[in-house]
Amino acid sequence: MSDVHVTGLADHHPAVRAAYERVVRRDPDQPEFRQAVLEVLETLSPVLVQHPEYVEAGILERLCEPERQIVFRVPWRDDRGRVHVNRGFRVEFNGALGPYKGGLRFHPSVDLGVVKFLGFEQIFKNALTGMSIGGGKGGSDFDPKGRSDAEVERFCQSFMTELFRHLGEHTDVPAGDIGVGGREIGYLFGQYRRLANRWEAGVLTGKGLEWGGSRVRTEATGYGAVLFAQRMLERRGRSLEGVRVVVSGSGNVALYAAEKAQQLGAVVVACSDSGGYVLDEKGLDLDLLKQIKEVERGRVADYPARRGGAARYVAGGSVWEVPCTVALPCATQNELDAEDARALVRNEVAAVAEGANMPTTPEAVRVLREAGVLFAPGKAANAGGVATSVLEMRQNARRESWSFEYTEAELARIMADVHDRCEEAAERHGAPGDYVLGANAAGFERVADAMLAQGLV
């Protein structure tokens, strides 16, 4: 992200320019964080005009600076006895609405800037759910791929040994993210319980069903993105019934986005991984894909041979070149660029809903919005995961376990509310149908009002 974007804010509210210039000056080596901040700030001028009290209280400056940034080393031994040292992070960004809530990511790309970008997005995402949760994020540059269960266990125990003192169901509640699934959550929770000497089920979400987890949590992020896309289309008199859908990625979010899209009558024809994409004109066989990806931990390249002649694999290709009506980027940040967006527009895409966090570059977002494509930003469209995490916390507090059907109905209700908050805020600020402005404005206003009420903290 070039600092030329500061100049691009010349027509915006002076408080927007000042806040972003401060971020650029303080965090010049954190491009993902600066990008996330810019994408929010550049939509907030109409909000600040209506609410000068936000400017007077320095809400923007305070919101762009985390309440707490925790960085620590994580020493551990591999199966051969060799010592490794990774770096751990937890950014407790904003707690005005409730305990910090956000996932842990274990991936070599994780650094402080990435965690801050994710935590900043989480503030608004959590606010949009209407629930009492603040925004935070964490993780490590540890890579669990290729590591034995014993190595992952030792790493998780070392990681939690440092982090546990900062957590608590009323303080900070992590969940899983990339590289942190049920196995890792189990090891982390066990070490927390050992160190804290209490069964505090609400301190981590994404737990196993037999020990405090929630049904639908695995499916929630992917399901939620599709439910949001469906509601966008319904507002225009359309639906997912019979339309072609393309999903990027083939992990948890992508697989369950594809599943929900199929349940709603769509034909999901393609998905991808880092090596390329698979195209199945008859519609993806999700049972086969889940076997390959979730059980065998294989690659989408393995799919065509086992599917038969109905599918083909395109090595190194962009899944966005596949014609579709609805596109669901569900892999990682900045995966869909301007060239990809132009390809989608040429193929007459109607809607894009982000299942991943900030998967669409700013240039690509502009291409889509200028072409009139319905665009749902991740802070709104993928809020289903954190919403279901809060449902898990509710069940933990009550010592209850809800059915799949009841929990899914709650998820559907929450995603409808998220959509409607974004839609209403966009209309109120003079930009009907602009879900980017709507999501940012609705989330920002809820957090800003709480910060005003609580004084200068």
- Decide if 77 is inside a domain: yes
pLDDT score at 2: 43
- Decide if 449 is inside a domain: no
Q: Which of 130, 164, 199 is the last residue in one of the domains? A: 199
pLDDT, tens digit, 9 for 90 and up, residues 183-215: 999 999 999 999 999 999 999 999 999 999 999
Grouped pLDDT means (10 residues each) for the chain, 457 residues: 58 95 97 96 96 98 98 98 98 98 97 97 97 98 96 98 98 96 97 97 97 96 98 97 97 96 98 96 96 93 91 96 98 95 98 96 96 97 97 97 98 98 97 97 98 97
Instruction: Find the CATH number of the domain harbouring 94.
Output: 3.40.50.10860
Residues forming a β-bridge with 138: 90, 104
- Decide if 153 is inside a domain: yes
Residues 248 and 343 in one domain: yes
Nearest to 330 by CA among 411, 268, 406: 268
Residues 98 and 189 in one domain: yes
- Decide if 390 is inside a domain: no
3-state SS track over the chain? CCCHHHHCCCCCCHHHHHHHHHHHHHCCCCHHHHHHHHHHHCCCHHHHHHCHHHHHCCHHHHHCCCCEEEEEEEEEECCCCCEEEEEEEEEEEECCCCCEEEEEEECCCCCHHHHHHHHHHHHHHHHHCCCCCEEEEEEECCCCCCCCHHHHHHHHHHHHHHHHHHCECCCEEEECECCECHHHHHHHHHHHHHHHCCCCHHHCCCCCHHHCCCCCHHHHHHHHHHHHHHHHHHCCCCCCCCCEEEEECCCHHHHHHHHHHHHCCCEEEEEEECCEEEEECCCCCHHHHHHHHHHCCCCHHHHHHHHCCCEEEEECCCHHHCCCCEEEECCCCCCECHHHHHHHHHCCCCEEECCCCCCECHHHHHHHHHCCCEEECHHHHCCHHHHHHHHHHHHHHHCCCCCHHHHHHHHHHHHHHHHHHHHHHHHHCCCCCCHHHHHHHHHHHHHHHHHHHHCCC
- Decide if 440 is inside a domain: no
Residues 154 and 235 in one domain: no
Residues 23 and 112 in one domain: no
- Decide if 452 is inside a domain: no
Query: Alpha-carbon Rg of the chain, whole angstroms?
Result: 21
Q: How far apart are CA 382 and CA 419, in angstroms?
A: 11
Q: Cα 442–231–207 angle (5° rounding)? A: 75
pLDDT score at 5: 55
Catalytic positions: 137
Q: How far apart are CA 18 and CA 206, in angstroms?
A: 39
Residues 59 and 76 in one domain: no
Q: List CB contacts of 13: < 8 A, sequence separation 6 or more.
A: 44, 45, 48, 49, 55
Q: Cα 75–79–85 angle (5° rounding)? A: 15
The CA-based diameter of the chain, rounded to the nearest angstrom, is: 64
Residues forming a β-bridge with 272: 277
- How many domains does the chain contain in total? 3
Residues 348 and 230 in one domain: yes
pTM here is 0.94
pLDDT score at 378: 96
- Decide if 411 is inside a domain: no
Residues recorded for the chain: 457
Strands 276-280 and 267-273 come out as antiparallel
Instruction: Find the CATH number of the domain harbouring 311.
Output: 3.40.50.720
pLDDT score at 1: 40
Domain housing 13? 4-63
Residues 184 and 78 in one domain: yes
Q: How far apart are CA 366 and CA 26, in angstroms?
A: 27
Residues 149 and 176 in one domain: yes
pLDDT score at 360: 97
Residues 134 and 224 in one domain: no
Q: Which of 347, 381, 415 is the last residue in one of the domains? A: 381
Q: How far apart are CA 355 and CA 377, in angstroms?
A: 9
Q: How far apart are CA 288 and CA 286, in angstroms?
A: 5
pLDDT score at 433: 95
Residues 171 and 244 in one domain: no
Residues 377 and 229 in one domain: yes
Cβ contact 450:96 at 8 Å: yes
Q: Which of 349, 365, 381 is the last residue in one of the domains? A: 381
Residues 275 and 136 in one domain: no
Q: And the tokens for 4?
A: 């030329």
Using left for φ > 0, alpha for ψ between -120 and 50, and beta otherwise, residue 72 falls in beta
- Decide if 302 is inside a domain: yes
Strands 68-77 and 83-94 come out as antiparallel
pLDDT, tens digit, 9 for 90 and up, residues 67-113: 999 999 999 999 999 999 999 999 999 999 999 999 999 999 999 99
Nearest to 328 by CA among 372, 262, 282: 262
Q: And the tokens for 217?
A: 């949590």
